[in-house]
Structure 1
Amino acid sequence: MTRTAQSVWENCLDFIKDNIQDQAFKTWFEPIKSVELTDNALYIQVPSKFFYEWLEEHYVKLLKVALTKELGPSAKLLYKIKMENTYGNNVPYTEQLPSSQRSSVKPQEVDFPVTNKSAELRNPFVIPGIRNLKIESQLNPNYNFDNFLEGDSNRLARSAGMAVANKPGGTSFNPLLIFGGVGLGKTHLAHAIGVEIKDKYPEKTVLYISAEIFTQQYIDSVKKNTRNDFIHFYQLIDVLIIDDVQFLSGKSGTQDVFFHIFNHLHQNGKQVILTSDKAPIDMQDIEQRLLSRFKWGLSAELHQPDYETRVSILKNILYRDGVDMPDEIIEYVAKNIKSNVRELEGAIISLIAQSSFNKREITVELAKQIVEKFVKNVKREISIDYIQKVVSDYFQLDLDILQSKTRKRHVVQARQLAMFFAKKYTKNSLANIGSQIGDRDHATVLHACKTVDNLVSTDKQFKKFVEDINKKLSL
């Protein structure tokens, strides 16, 4: 009897079904289609990259055993990943993988175990004058405008991003600074702009980089005495995207070199795109000359998504991943997770996983359990600004008074407590903490922390202050 892709896969499914729970089988294996059998290689089609990654993470051993039983020890499993552009759009396309183009349907070969083939960042120190220099953009094609859903919370930033993508360096939005809290889509939008530019202007050199890596590259250039090569490299870029620019805070050398790179790019009509967790006016320990340039273009804020946008985001995630879920479940999750997109996605994936592994139907009750645990386990980002507000409110002080030079005892103690908790709850350096709390130096912060430690062990009233504020910050 002639073997076909379908017969081989059906035999594999019979084996798999006997070894996992029914709910998991229905969720993760029934949507898979066999495509082609070539020698000892079986091609299967999965609904999305999420499916592929989930199979490789959770069922790779089971798949290997099942396929080996059918095709022998040299068996290989290859994937074709079909995705939808976005929720409500029924035009499919093949996932753009490292070895394929969207216009052609090529499989991604996945042997056991899967290896990460993500490109490394190219060395930024190049010989000046080289033509046709290939610079990897470091963009993630999965972060695009198609799956960055528009709502009231992001309309300005998204529209500005589209304008920049259509005419990089040719709008008044240069630089474009996208700012907002954790998980609201700053990085997604920055990538989407870059991806769109590469699509429209393939000849342009686009580079996405985090401020942290930029800083490390600069430090390395100083050590190796290649600072000029570092600057020259970045002056070659047509569209420079720097993520988390607030990371440059307190790093005077990196700020100085970025200032010169920024000026060169701006003067030559190149586009600069920045993301930050705060607006320029709220950035601490960034040189004024740099802040003034951040304000030259447009600062667009991303807010928390409203209910309708949250529902659309959840539907888009489910549609992307090929998973069906009742509207009442989607609406429950959207009503109860309001903070950011990242938490929304995490909650819905947790819900799918719990249903799959525990063989439970997805109900409102299950959603309630998952959402409660998820929200409880997600720690709120505690910033120095937030700590100062909590301390000021506790002592009924104006923030200006807390940060002032006054030496009144109750104000000094409040200020010291703010410094103490900033050191405890944030990753900021002592210098950064001092800079944000009344423009003090690191020695003042260190002294404040020691004073608080001493008073806690000797002053009962002060100990109560510490306990009360700690509870408020831990809520």
Structure 2
Amino acid sequence: MSVTAQSVWNNCLEFIKDNIQPQAYKTWFEPIVAVKLTDKALSIQVPSKFFYEWLEEHYVKILKVSLTKELGESAKLVYIIKMENTYGNKQPFTEKIPSSNRSALKSQDVDVPLNNKNPELRNPFVIPGIRNVKIESQLNPNYSFENFLEGDSNRLARSAGLAVAAKPGGTSFNPLLIFGGVGLGKTHLAHAIGVDIKDKYPEKTVLYISAEKFTQQYIEAVKKNNRNDFIHFYQIIDVLIIDDVQFLSGKTGTQDVFFHIFNHLHQNGKQVILTSDKAPVDMQDIEQRLLSRFKWGLSAELQNPDFETRVSILKNKLYRDGVEMPDEIIEYVAKNIKTNVRELEGAIISLIAQSSFNKKEITIDLARIIVEKFVKNTKREVSIDYIQKVVSDYFQMDIDTLQSKTRKRHIVQARQLAMFFAKKFTKASLASIGSQIGKRDHATVLHACKTVDNLSSTDKQFRKYVEDITKKLSV
């Protein structure tokens, strides 16, 4: 049988699989693709430089052993690293790297001296008139990696956060963009990275700020004719953490100033960490040049936690609060509240409070009452299929007609409404919504959402459509 890159890699994987944890295998080895075999050199493609660095840091020994078993002592491993939109270069980056040799990658780092360390710069975080050049990090020390529990839903983002904390500005994931729905831990993870960096590198200036507060400060700086001071202040930060960056949407002046601050920090090897409720591709009204920079590093998604992770989160919360609770009650809560971590912890707090205030024992019946109230009060996420059914029924047409290519006005409007509500009521990406509603692209969905917003404010009848369908979907 002829030896191919795939057959060699499959044998390596069998060996690796037997010697590491299943979750680690799934996260770090399943995404790898065997590309070619030349002499004793096996080329494998990894999704990013982040993967390459992680493999070299944690799995170099097992890779070497498995490859030597297959190809002998002179075996070599060639990494092909797909780099998206990095400095405008869309070509895959290929590097022949002997084990533990990273100098070839490090040579890409940019080392530009920082010339703006002016101690007289105004600090937006101190009361005007009080002289204070010390920059407080604005970090919450209660948000740490220790209480950010790892699971399938967050493993990539958490691992990336740890790597950034170990070498801020020195990894390929700069910026690190953490995105996901409400209550999944984006802010917690952003703070945890900052707290860990402050612990490891006390001399570094770390700053956490929400995009909303950043915008307010910029508006204030423009009013007081301090725009340059504002820019210079942010240029002296070593690690800048901006929460809810989607808030910059539509704010062209703030986006412009952030673009220049970002460029300066990035070129000087400073770390930028961003959080958002959506991936860069789904962000609306953000300048393309800024979006392209968001893609320079790593975009890591936080998803809804699976059952095992939900149980671990609850047990950890109870342990920290010094409360004991039977496993069957913990599992009941975890099984019935699936949406996000915030609601999960909220339910367990409610359960403890009810038990304490009413001097009742925590039983499965009490848990059932609390969970039912919680689930009832929680906004239900509906499916895209259900939204299409509700919209098509409302306009008395079938779903095939709704999804068709016709340009008849009433059908186009119904389709646009379905897209609008799919974006509003689900966590699906624009591309996913488009593909499910008549195989459209994400630009069509974006246009549909803007059209619905415009018509809602100018057309009374159309506004009634939106109100009626909203009621139907909110029941």
TM range (shorter): 0.5 to 0.7
Q: In 2, Cα distance between the equivalents of 1:399 and 1:233?
A: 56
Change (3 A) 1:318 1:159: same
Equivalent pair of 2:311/2:331 in contact (CA under 8 Å): yes
Cα offset, 1:471, TM superposition: 4.4
Cα offset, 1:327, TM superposition: 1.1
What secondary structure, in the 3-state scheme, does the structure 1 residue paired with 2:373 have?
Answer: helix
Equivalent pair of 1:124/1:230 in contact (CA under 8 Å): no
**Structure 1 counterpart of 2:461, from 434, 451, 462:** 451
Which residue identity does 2:474 align to in structure 1? S
Cα offset, 1:315, TM superposition: 0.7
Cα offset, 1:413, TM superposition: 4.8
User: Does 2:362 align with 1:335?
Assistant: no
Q: In 2, Cα distance between the equivalents of 1:320 and 1:162?
A: 22
User: Does 2:409 align with 1:408?
Assistant: yes
User: Does 2:318 align with 1:315?
Assistant: no
User: Does 2:387 align with 1:390?
Assistant: yes
Which residue identity does 1:446 align to in structure 2? S
Change (3 A) 1:424 1:363: closer
Partner of 2:448: 437
Q: In 2, Cα distance between the equivalents of 1:315 and 1:121?
A: 40
User: Does 2:119 align with 1:122?
Assistant: no
What secondary structure, in the 3-state scheme, does the structure 1 residue paired with 2:360 have?
Answer: coil
Change (3 A) 1:423 1:274: closer
Equivalent pair of 2:381/2:425 in contact (CA under 8 Å): no
**More deviation in 414-423 or 346-355?**
414-423
Partner of 2:301: 301
User: Does 2:187 align with 1:217?
Assistant: no
Which residue identity does 1:329 align to in structure 2? I
What secondary structure, in the 3-state scheme, does the structure 2 residue paired with 1:275 have?
Answer: strand
Q: In 1, Cα distance between the equivalents of 2:194 and 2:406?
A: 46
The aligned runs of 1:163-242 (5 Å cut-off) are 163-242=163-242
Equivalent pair of 1:417/1:452 in contact (CA under 8 Å): no
Partner of 2:147: 147
Which residue identity does 2:412 align to in structure 1? V
Equivalent pair of 2:184/2:303 in contact (CA under 8 Å): yes
Which residue identity does 1:135 align to in structure 2? I
Equivalent pair of 2:391/2:418 in contact (CA under 8 Å): no
Partner of 1:72: none
Which residue identity does 2:147 align to in structure 1? N
Cα offset, 1:328, TM superposition: 1.1
Cα offset, 1:221, TM superposition: 1.2
Q: In 1, Cα distance between the equivalents of 2:183 and 2:424?
A: 23
Q: In 2, Cα distance between the equivalents of 1:392 and 1:215?
A: 40
Equivalent pair of 1:162/1:193 in contact (CA under 8 Å): yes
Q: In 2, Cα distance between the equivalents of 1:371 and 1:247?
A: 33
Cα offset, 1:284, TM superposition: 1.0
Equivalent pair of 2:152/2:305 in contact (CA under 8 Å): yes
Cα offset, 1:405, TM superposition: 11
Equivalent pair of 1:144/1:192 in contact (CA under 8 Å): yes
What secondary structure, in the 3-state scheme, does the structure 1 residue paired with 2:473 have?
Answer: helix
Which residue identity does 1:325 align to in structure 2? M
Which residue identity does 2:411 align to in structure 1? H
Which residue identity does 2:305 align to in structure 1? P
Q: Deviations over 1:221-249 (max 9, x none)?
A: 11111111111111010000000011111
Q: In 1, Cα distance between the equivalents of 2:136 and 2:219?
A: 21
Equivalent pair of 2:144/2:188 in contact (CA under 8 Å): yes
Partner of 2:283: 283
Partner of 1:379: 379
Q: Size of the alignment, in residue pairs?
A: 331
Q: In 2, Cα distance between the equivalents of 1:262 and 1:445?
A: 36
Cα offset, 1:387, TM superposition: 8.6
Q: In 2, Cα distance between the equivalents of 1:290 and 1:400?
A: 35
Change (3 A) 1:229 1:126: farther
Q: In 2, Cα distance between the equivalents of 1:392 and 1:264?
A: 50
Q: In 2, Cα distance between the equivalents of 1:340 and 1:423?
A: 17
TM-score (norm. length: structure 2): 0.63
Q: In 2, Cα distance between the equivalents of 1:423 and 1:299?
A: 22
Question: Percent identity, aligned pairs only?
Answer: 72
Partner of 1:25: none
Cα offset, 1:411, TM superposition: 1.7
What secondary structure, in the 3-state scheme, does the structure 2 residue paired with 1:437 have?
Answer: helix
**Structure 2 alignment gaps of length 5 or more:** 1-122, 393-397, 427-444
Which residue identity does 2:461 align to in structure 1? T
Cα offset, 1:256, TM superposition: 0.7
Q: In 1, Cα distance between the equivalents of 2:451 and 2:316?
A: 47
Which residue identity does 1:437 align to in structure 2? A
Change (3 A) 1:198 1:422: closer
What secondary structure, in the 3-state scheme, does the structure 1 residue paired with 2:241 have?
Answer: strand
Cα offset, 1:121, TM superposition: 7.0
Equivalent pair of 2:417/2:448 in contact (CA under 8 Å): no
Q: In 1, Cα distance between the equivalents of 2:461 and 2:311?
A: 49
Cα offset, 1:122, TM superposition: 1.1
Q: Deviations over 1:100-143 (max 9, x none)?
A: xxxxxxxxxxxxxxxxxxxx97149999xx9x931010000000
Q: Deviations over 1:240-269 (max 9, x none)?
A: 000001111111111111101100000000
Partner of 1:356: 356
Q: In 1, Cα distance between the equivalents of 2:472 and 2:169?
A: 46
Equivalent pair of 2:169/2:269 in contact (CA under 8 Å): yes
Higher relative contact order (CA 8 A, sep 6+): 1
Cα offset, 1:401, TM superposition: 6.6
Q: RMSD across aligned C-alpha pairs, in angstroms? A: 3.5
Equivalent pair of 2:403/2:415 in contact (CA under 8 Å): no
What secondary structure, in the 3-state scheme, does the structure 1 residue paired with 2:183 have?
Answer: coil
Cα offset, 1:409, TM superposition: 2.4
Equivalent pair of 1:124/1:233 in contact (CA under 8 Å): no
